[in-house]
Amino acid sequence: MSTSEPIIQLLHAEIRQKENVILKDVNLEVHAGEFVYLIGKTGSGKSSLLKTLYAELSLASGEGHCCGYDLSKIKRKQIPYLRRKLGIVFQDFELLTDRSVNDNLDFVLRATGWTDKKAMESRMQSVLDLVGLENKGFKMPHELSGGEQQRVVIARALLNTPQLILADEPTGNLDPKTSHEILNLLLAISRSGTAVLMASHDYQTMQKFNSRIVICDDHGVRETRDIAQFESIHA
């Protein structure tokens, strides 16, 4: 384990949806460059945990830090600054369908304070190169395959050089071959120093790409090494 300051640190954290306790006594650390799978059956709290980390859900109690921000004390006006330090990858892409790939990326850059047109164009091309879409900036989302659209989402998440990528079932709508490609891309991103926390049900693919595993189960969070056993119980 790295001795550096953790990107994510939760200590005895409790996560609620209104009055319902979703997760309690959560203890979790993730450091720069780590790739961590977050698994658990539907409704176990994976998405709620991710939402707490990007401050869509408030931390109910305990301690929580993400990308240098105290989740128990974060103010509404600080949330956009937290989100500039992390990238979010969703299962259903959430691209602006009436805009080209470049315009999708340009929208995010402008929304996060970029103003220098040449710097913006350079950054957009850089992230598209990184995800293997060098010549697709002019395309509309509907002209791309599902895997290509997810690569655009990852490129969008990388625009502001985040410390952390939160990926919520990023391969859930993709075929096995494309899932492998997306997972390889996320693993490469983690090896470059960006922490990746990825919620997934794709146990078969995960077994081929071994990494640290955190499981949401019985209103808690714990580490596990045996995906196959978990899959057989919760299939």
Q: Is the pLDDT of residue 172 over 50?
A: yes
pLDDT, position 107: 94
pTM tops 0.85 = yes
* Alpha carbon separation from 135 to 13, 94, 106, 124, 125 (Å, rounded): 44, 21, 16, 11, 9
Q: How confident is the model at residue 233 (pLDDT cuts 50, 70, 90)?
A: very low
Amino acid identity of residue 114, one-letter, is W
d(CA 36, CA 147): 21
DSSP 49-94: HHHHHTTSS-EEEEEEEETTEETTT--GGGHHHHHHTEEEEETT--
Helix (H) or strand (E) holding 152: helix 146-158
pLDDT, position 1: 45
Q: Is the pLDDT of residue 39 over 80?
A: yes
Q: Where are the domains of the chain?
A: 1-85+164-235, 99-161
Task: For residue range 198-222, list pLDDT tens digits in order.
Answer: 998 888 878 888 899 999 988 999 9
Mean pLDDT of 92-101: 89
Mean pLDDT of 72-94: 89
Residue predicted with more confidence, 17 or 139: 139
Q: Does CATH number 3.40.50.300 belong to domain 1-85+164-235?
A: yes
pLDDT, position 112: 85
Mean pLDDT of 31-36: 95
Helix, strand or coil for residue 221? strand
